[in-house]
């Protein structure tokens, strides 16, 4: 008991100044406790808030009222649903593969939560500033795919299995343009650390400099987190509920947590990579005068951006119909991937043009336009022009292919334009 | 702390590897393989090689293992529980494995493992990039051309020839 109190006191002492510098004496155990608190509090909370938001916004888009019985504006509806979900009978169908069936939901939730370790929420507030942050996000995504595969296979259900097949096809396909978009961001920021990427957006958010990359990242990320119009893994009109059709009660809750936390992660990292993360008016001034104020402001700016991205995700879900599976794969391999490759080349070329004399402390030859760097703004403008050029080339190519297409409908559209 | 973590990763790696060859269920074998790969990634993290750890997971878990799982799910009876562990070539396999084992055994027996005094600089990513595009640029480019050839080859093999446009 004594030891426990001592340990808790130690924990609280560290908590009070943790935001500004990680305690050098912090043991792994303390960090694990932080991680557990984040996982057990933030993740279910995110799921509850997001389900309510989604239902409410979708209802408004479809000219309905949405949940409005439990509490003001129905805010407690999701909470009631969560409690109901946990008290349901936990059914394990006969014929499932017990080990894989039980591990898969936990893996789905953990894979979704783990990426938050590298999320820079406010100046100085980041779980761990890995120098491979972007790559870490991609690596953790692999376990998300694995969880879907395990759930689909172990359920011993043809719908679940079909869902899992689609999952692999879709997630692996869209990983390619997503990684290419992330490489572009890494090139522009000159670092894979998420904190450095936010810091590098002082002169113009990357949304302004590389809007095409943002589009590629956003679309492929939407597919990665199975959001409509890319929610083919669980297309209810075709597959009942897809890979999680056999799950009930707490395991279903875990899968749902995984799904909504994944969506939150997608929105958060879109904000971090392209919308300047915690950046906003007066934040640079606040960082210099009062770190505490900067942290508060950073949280506010960041949450506004994440909220906006989530709204856009829900908005798209309420607007667009679902893709067909072959169109979905064609879109990734025949359009997004070549586009992302071309975009990467153009961005690398423009960056070389504006290359200042040193990079990461190493002297390298300066680019021919390095005089026009202008504290980053000249480069931003150059990148924007490069993006526009790529869009023009891509649309011309698509048009030319549409004219030659065997699909009469596609030819008619191309001819009409 | 570090020996303890190392112990956990060792269990993952060795247990996974043992599982791959002893389980009768092909799907489990693939999952055990993933467990083993993940343990290897843990070793890289312990060695301050975060980049290699991420590569290990992206390439082996995210690509190769998922591909293996996919192939198993497509080509076998999906819920097949038991595959025979041995086939007619088990003797040949045993001999090959034994030879390989003794060759590998010679390495730890004959090499003294000197500890380097170098301290991890913390910017190993920069060092890695400089090495790839500096002193090792030719092997690096050769490998990238090899991968490109494999990629194009895969596309040509997978191409549906009946679908080629006749003009």
Complex ipTM: 0.79
| CA–CA distance, A338 with A401 (Å, rounded to integer) | 14
Radius of gyration, alpha carbons of chain B? 21
Could you write out the DSSP letters of every residue in A311-337?
HHHHHHHHHSPPPPHHHHHHIIIIIIH
Task: Specify if A367 maps to a domain.
Answer: no
Q: Which two tokens stand for residue A117?
A: 């370790």
Q: Which chain B positions have a beta carbon within 8 Å of A139's beta carbon?
A: 53-54, 57-58, 61-62
- To the nearest 10 degrees (0 to 180), the angle between helices A133-154 and B26-46 is 160
Assess if residue A411 is contained within a domain: no
End residue of a domain, out of A286, A321, A356: A321
Q: Out of A86, A114, A132, pick the residue that ends a domain.
A: A86
For residue B91, is it within any domain?
Answer: no
Give the integer Cα–Cα distance in Å for A345 and A238: 40
Q: What does the block give as tokens for A153?
A: 């296979």
Give yes or no for residue A348 having a pLDDT over 80: yes
- Identify whether the C-beta of residue B73 lies closer than 8 Å to the C-beta of residue A153: yes
Q: How many beta carbons lie within 10 A of that of residue A313, not counting itself? A: 24
Exposure of A93 in the CB half-sphere (CA atoms within 13 A): 16
Is the pLDDT score of A250 beyond 50?
A: yes
Band of the pLDDT at B98, cuts 50, 70, 90? very high
Tally of structural domains, chain A: 2
**Mean pLDDT on A48-68:** 84
pLDDT score, position A111:
86
- Other C-beta atoms closer than 10 Å to the C-beta of A216 total 24
Q: Which domain holds residue A99?
A: 88-321
Give the Cβ contact number of residue B85 at 10 Å: 10
Specify the higher pLDDT residue, A86 or A38: A86
Model pLDDT, residue A372: 66
Which range is least confidently modeled, A152-166, A203-217, B132-146?
Answer: A152-166
Give B62's contacts in chain A (Cβ within 8 Å). Answer: 138-139, 141-142, 145, 175
Contact status of B130 with chain A (Cβ, < 8 Å): yes
What does the pLDDT read at residue A23? 43
Q: Are residues A152 and A71 in the same domain?
A: no
Res. B14 pLDDT band, cuts 50 70 90:
very high
Q: Which residues contact A102 (CB under 8 A, 6 or more apart)?
A: A251
Q: How many other C-beta atoms can be found within 10 angstroms of the C-beta atom of residue A65?
A: 10
**pLDDT of the residue at A375:** 64
Beta bridge partners of A122: A125
Residue range B98-118: average pLDDT? Answer: 85
CB-based contacts of B50, cutoff 8 Å, min separation 6: A130, A131, A132, A136, B44
Hey, is the C-beta of B47 within 8 angstroms of any chain A C-beta? no
What residues contact residue A346 under an 8 Å CB cut-off, 6+ apart?
A: A386, A387, A389, A390
Q: Is B62's CB within 8 Å of A164's CB? A: no
Domain that holds residue B65: 1-83
What is the mean predicted confidence (pLDDT) over B1-14?
82
Domain contains A332: no
Residue to mutate among A31, A114, A133, A139, with most B CBs inside 10 A, is A139
- Domain end among A291, A321, A351: A321
Q: In 3D, which of A202, A209, A219, A216 has the Cα closest to residue A188?
A: A209
A16 pLDDT exceeds 50? no
The Cα of B95 is separated from the nearest Cα of chain A by a number of Å equal to 34
Q: Which helix (H) or strand (E) holds A209?
A: helix A206-209
| Closest by CA position to A152, among listed A221, A97, A106 | A97
Exposure b/e, B50-73, CB count within 10 A at least 16 = b: bbbbbbbbbebbbeebbebbbebb
Confirm whether B96 is domain-assigned. no
B72 with B21, same domain: the answer is yes
Tell me the whole-structure pTM to 2 decimals. 0.81
| Residue at A285 is within a domain | yes
Q: Which of residues 364-393 of A touch B (CB under 8 A)?
A: none
Query: What's the start-to-end Cα distance of chain B, in Å?
Result: 69
Mean pLDDT of all residues belonging to chain A = 79
Backbone angles phi, psi at A75, to 5 degrees: -65, -25
Same domain (yes/no): A105, A10: no
């Amino acid at each position: 008991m004594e030891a426990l109190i001592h340990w808790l006191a130690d924990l609280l002492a560290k908590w009070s100044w943790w935001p500004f510098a990680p305690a050098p004496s912090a043991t792994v155990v303390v960090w694990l406790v932080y991680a557990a608190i984040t996982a057990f509090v933030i993740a279910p909370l995110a799921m509850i808030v997001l389900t309510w938001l989604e239902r409410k916004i979708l209802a408004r888009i479809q000219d309905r009222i949405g949940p409005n019985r439990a509490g003001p504006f129905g805010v407690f509806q999701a909470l009631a649903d969560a409690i109901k979900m946990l008290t349901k009978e936990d059914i394990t169908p006969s014929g499932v593969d017990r080990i894989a069936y039980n591990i898969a939901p936990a893996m789905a939730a953990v894979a979704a939560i783990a990426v938050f370790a590298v999320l820079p929420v406010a100046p100085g507030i980041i779980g761990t500033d890995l120098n491979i942050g972007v790559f870490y996000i991609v690596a953790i995504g692999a376990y998300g795919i694995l969880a879907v595969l395990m759930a689909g296979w172990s359920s011993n259900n043809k719908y679940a299995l079909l869902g899992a097949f689609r999952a692999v096809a879709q997630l692996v396909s869209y990983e390619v343009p997503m990684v290419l978009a992330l490489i572009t961001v890494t090139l522009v920021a000159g670092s894979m650390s998420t904190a450095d990427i936010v810091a590098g957006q002082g002169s113009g958010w990357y949304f302004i400099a590389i809007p095409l990359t943002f589009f590629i990242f956003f679309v492929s990320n939407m597919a990665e987190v199975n959001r409509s119009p890319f929610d083919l893994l669980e297309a209810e009109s075709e597959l009942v509920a897809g890979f999680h059709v056999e799950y009930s009660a707490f395991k279903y809750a875990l899968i749902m947590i995984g799904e909504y936390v994944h969506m939150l992660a997608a929105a958060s990292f879109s904000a971090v990579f392209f919308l300047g993360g915690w950046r906003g008016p007066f934040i640079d001034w606040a960082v210099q005068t009062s770190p505490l104020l900067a942290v508060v402001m950073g949280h506010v700016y960041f949450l506004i951006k994440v909220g906006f991205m989530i709204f856009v995700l829900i908005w798209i879900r309420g607007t667009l119909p679902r893709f067909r599976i072959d169109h979905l794969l064609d879109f990734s391999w025949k359009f997004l991937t070549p586009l992302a490759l071309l975009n990467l080349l153009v961005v690398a070329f423009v960056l070389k043009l504006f290359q200042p004399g040193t990079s990461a402390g190493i002297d390298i030859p300066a680019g021919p336009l390095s005089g026009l760097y202008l504290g980053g703004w000249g480069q931003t403008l150059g990148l924007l022009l490069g993006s526009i050029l790529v869009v023009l080339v891509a649309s011309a190519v698509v048009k030319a292919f549409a004219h030659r297409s065997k699909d009469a409908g596609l030819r008619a559209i191309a001819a009409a334009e | 702390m570090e020996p303890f973590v190392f112990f956990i990763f060792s269990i993952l790696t060795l247990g996974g590897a043992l599982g791959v060859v002893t389980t009768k269920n092909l799907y489990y074998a693939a999952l055990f393989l993933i467990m083993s790969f993940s343990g290897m990634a843990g070793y890289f993290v312990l060695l301050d090689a975060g980049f290699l750890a991420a590569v290990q997971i992206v390439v082996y878990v995210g690509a190769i293992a998922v591909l293996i799982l996919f192939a198993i799910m497509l080509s076998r009876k999906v819920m097949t529980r038991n595959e025979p562990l041995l086939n007619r070539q088990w003797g040949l396999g045993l001999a090959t494995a034994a030879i390989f084992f003794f060759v590998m055994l010679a390495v730890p027996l004959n090499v003294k493992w000197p500890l380097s005094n170098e301290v991890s600089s913390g910017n190993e990513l920069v060092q890695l990039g400089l090495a790839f595009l500096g002193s090792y640029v030719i092997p690096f480019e050769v490998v990238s051309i090899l991968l490109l050839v494999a990629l194009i080859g895969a596309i040509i093999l997978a191409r549906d020839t009946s679908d080629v446009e006749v003009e």
